[in-house]
Amino acid sequence: MASELPPIPPVIAAEELAKKGEVPPGPGPVTEGIPGREGADKIRRTITYVVLAAVSLLFFVPFFWSISTSLKTLPEAAGFDLLPADPSFRAYREAITTFNFGRYFLNSVFLASVVTGFNLFLASLGGYAFARLRFPGREVLFFLVLGTLMIPHELRLVPVFQMLSEFPVTHWNLLGSYQGYILINLVGATNLFLMRQYFLTIPKDYEEAAKLDGAGYFKTYLRVMLPLAGPALAAITILTFQGTWNDFFWPLVIFLGDETKYTLPLGINQFRSQYSTQWPELMSASILAILPIFALYVFFQRYFIAGITSAGVKG
Amino acid sequence: MAPVTYEKVSKLFDGTAAVKDLDLEIGDGEFIVLVGPSGCGKSTALRMLAGLERTTEGRIMIGDRVVNNVAPQDRDVAMVFQSYALYPHMTVYNNLAFGLRNLKVPKQEIDARVRKAAEILDMGELIKRKPKQLSGGQRQRVALGRAIVREPKAFLMDEPLSNLDAKLRVQTRAEILKLQQRLGTTTIYVTHDQVEAMTMGDRIAVMRFGLLQQLGTPEELYTHPRNVFVAGFIGSPAMNLVPAPLVDGGGSNLIAGFRPEHMTLGDGSPDGLRFDAKVEVVEYLGNDQLAHLVKGETPLVALLPVECRLSMGDDATFTVPRDKLHLFDAETEQVVHGGG
Ligand SMILES: Nc1ncnc2c1ncn2[C@@H]1O[C@H](COP(=O)(O)OP(=O)(O)OP(=O)(O)O)[C@@H](O)[C@H]1O
Ligand SMILES: [Mg+2]
């Protein structure tokens, strides 16, 4: 009911207060730490930072190792030197020119974008239905959706392969096609779940207001609910884009043999052969492949954290 | 603008009644207040009229159209929510225009109506802001604005003032009344605050446990409460309700009710009800004082002019005029003899 709405702190624009000659209501003067407790606080803060630094180092070292390797030569890469003796971008040039790197890159961008788009649309639409519409079998259906999370990819391999090789009714062969890959990634259960949980946290008043304002179900979803779900949508964007970008398994199954459809992970994999691995090239290509994801994170970080925490905590 | 009628309206939630057999005729342009304690079914009654809740039984009519099966947006009513429910991502202008756009009102007219509403509510310069850039009072006005641009047959308001501080609430109360008088739109207003009900309503419907207890003007409710509940609920400070024999008001099957403001100190009028009580605490209110008394074990409250000298522990005699005495049946709690 109405009282569930979180209280909205009154925010008065500064200019208006200035006009009235009032001082904006802010937190009172910041009191210094409780006497006698500064010492304990300082120790606690130091420990926190040390632990955080250690964990970051743990993640950073392999990453640094990759960068370092990408600047080395192959014989050098076999050694354990942290820094390359004679750093060069040779491996990067090789990585881009040896195989059709540009093509893989475009394939990855295309598939990740399309799959992310479909997930945003379908997960939010489905999440809204599961959160708000009443229809027979809703709970059962929702449990089925969640149930799909428990089936590992490996188990789905054969059925999916068969389904794509001769699609029911139309008998299309979707193996080796972009459509096939997009089809099986149209919407992920995790995303659907995330959206449902997020929509559940949005007070019903907005929808009731929209209803009285003459907005139908779809308009309410599109114009009222979706804009309110920004953080969850940001989380889905980043998770899905990254997931598709990094996906090795399904592109391998579906595009195997058609090198023109390879995505970056498949392309990069070609630097590994049965007898040797071209480490510097592999690392260079990997680092280039990371860049778009890195940019995405920087751009969405704020929303992403908000989305994960709010969907997780309040759900 | 249109009259609104509830005919034997009931609402069950999983078998328990939130509203029972509600009969209510609201005149065209009338300001009616639904009041009662928390959970008495006020909001449910309002939401059934809005179409946000289905009726289990009975008929609701707006004008002479039965709306039971009419979708909310086709009922031509506008609602002000307790939370205001302003769309956070839209500017004030778009908040007001959203409903009109959905109704396919021509663009120029939308613009004219929104600007007029903004002018009526004195929020011209706020129109480009988003809700989170507004103060609580300003948001409240936007919520009202969203209702008035629609030019609906009726305004429905569910505790629209409860998020404001006390001072702003009193101020806004007057503003809503002025607005309603100016527009002449039938208004159904829900509150649990009897002061708000008394000051705002042309008529007041007091509800309890989903049942309408009494419907009447503020004066009728104050002077002729129909039962013990209404007697105790309407008026501040609340009416004293005690076993009648305690104050020599009647037999043991009766409850005597008299208002603190009708008690006088001393012997008073000769035909009045006279009794002694002990003063426990005196609250100074400026012009008046509120004396908390006990007679035997029973607490009583008297509102006396500040000139009366009273101090804690005093025994004093009080008088209540006969014509201000209400008597209720102790069993049924219905009025037997109503005050003047
Ligand atoms: N959706 C619902 N499902 C089940 N019971 C409900 C629902 N809505 C209301 N009720 C019940 O119906 C009764 C009346 O509720 P209602 O919201 O109308 O009370 P109210 O008078 O508005 O109270 P308040 O002053 O607290 O807002 C309550 O007992 C409530 O628990
Ligand atoms: Mg209510």
Put simply, the answer to whether A212 touches B87 (Cβ < 8 Å) is no
- Interface predicted TM-score (ipTM) of this complex, two decimals: 0.86
Our answer on whether the CB atom of B42 is closer than 6 Å to any ligand 1 atom is yes
Owning domain of residue A43: 38-70
CB contact under 8 A, B89 and A1: no
User: Do B203 and B248 fall within a single domain?
Assistant: no
Cα–Cα distance, B178 to A252 (Å, whole number): 72
- Chain A hits for B50, CB-CB cut-off 8 Å, are 208, 212
CA-CA distance, A92 to B71, in Å (whole number)?
A: 64
CA–CA min distance A255, chain B (Å): 43
| CB-closest option in A11, A205, A213 to B102 | A213
Ligand 1 proximity of B44 Cβ (cutoff 6 Å) = yes
Count of structural domains, chain B: 2
Q: In chain A, pLDDT over 70 holds for what percent of residues? A: 84
Query: Highest mean pLDDT range out of A16-30, A293-307, B76-90?
Result: B76-90
Q: Who's near A291: CB < 8 A, 6+ residues apart?
A: none
Q: Which residue of A has its CA nearest to B89?
A: A227
The answer to whether the CB of B52 is under 6 A from ligand 1 is no
Same domain, B15 and B93: yes
* Measured distance between the N- and C-terminal CA atoms of chain A, rounded to whole angstroms: 17
On whether any CB of chain B is under 8 Å from the CB of A7, the answer is yes
Residue A294 is encoded by which pair of tokens?
């890195």
Which CATH number goes with the domain that contains B121?
A: 3.40.50.300
CA–CA separation, A82 and A69 (whole Å): 9
Distance A3 CA to ligand 2 centre (A): 8
CB pairs < 8 Å spanning A and B: 80
What DSSP assignment string belongs to A3-51? GGSPPPPP---HHHHHHHTPPP----PPPPPPTT-HHHHHHHHHHHHHH
- Flag if A11 and B135 touch (Cβ within 8 Å): yes
Distance to chain A for B136, nearest Cα, Å: 5
| Last residue within a domain, chosen from B188, B207, B230 | B230
- Whether this prediction's pTM lies above 0.90 is answered by no
* Minimal-distance CA residue of chain A relative to B103: A214
CA of B43 to the centre of ligand 1 (A): 7
Residue nearest to atom 24 of ligand 1 (CA): B38
Range of the domain at B192: 4-230
> Which among A177, A78, A186, A178 has a CA at the least distance from the CA of A122?
A186
Residue B162 has pLDDT above 80, yes or no: yes
Please tell me the predicted confidence (pLDDT) of residue A250: 93
pLDDT > 90? residue A23: no
* Contacting residues for B166 by C-beta, under 8 A, at least 6 apart: none
> What was the pLDDT predicted at A38?
76
Q: Is the dihedral of CA A224, B68, A5, A137 positive or negative?
A: negative
State whether A275 and A143 are in the same domain: yes
Is any ligand 1 atom within 6 A of the Cβ of residue B191? no
- By mean pLDDT, which of A270-274, B21-25, B63-67 is the weakest? A270-274
Structure tokens at A154: 């490996």
Residue type (1 letter), A208? E
B311 Cβ below 6 A of ligand 1: no
Q: With respect to residue A21, please indicate whether it lies within any of the assigned structural domains.
A: no
Residue-wise pLDDT tens digits, A88-142: 888 888 888 888 888 999 999 999 999 999 999 999 999 999 999 989 999 999 9
- Verify that A149 and A64 share a domain, yes or no: no
Do B97 and B166 fall into the same domain?
yes
Task: Kindly state whether residues B146 and B291 are assigned to the same domain.
Answer: no
Q: Which two tokens stand for residue B177?
A: 């009344």
- Which of the four pLDDT bands, split at 50, 70 and 90, describes residue A25? very low
Average pLDDT of chain A to the nearest whole number: 83
A2 part of contact set with chain B, CB < 8 Å? yes
Q: Does A24 touch chain B (CB under 8 A)?
A: no
Q: How far is CA B177 from CA B144, B174, B196, B221, in A?
A: 12, 5, 11, 20
Same structural domain for residues B271 and B217?
no
Provide the 3-class DSSP secondary structure of residue A99.
coil
Contacts of B134 in chain A (CB under 8 A): 10-11
Residue whose entry in the numeric block shows the structure tokens 């029973």: B298
Rounded mean pLDDT, B256-268: 89
DSSP A272: B
B333/B205 same-domain check: no
Domain count, chain A: 2
Nearest atom of ligand 1 to the alpha carbon of B14: 4
Domain boundary among B164, B199, B230: B230
Q: Which residue puts its alpha carbon closest to atom 12 of ligand 1? A: B18
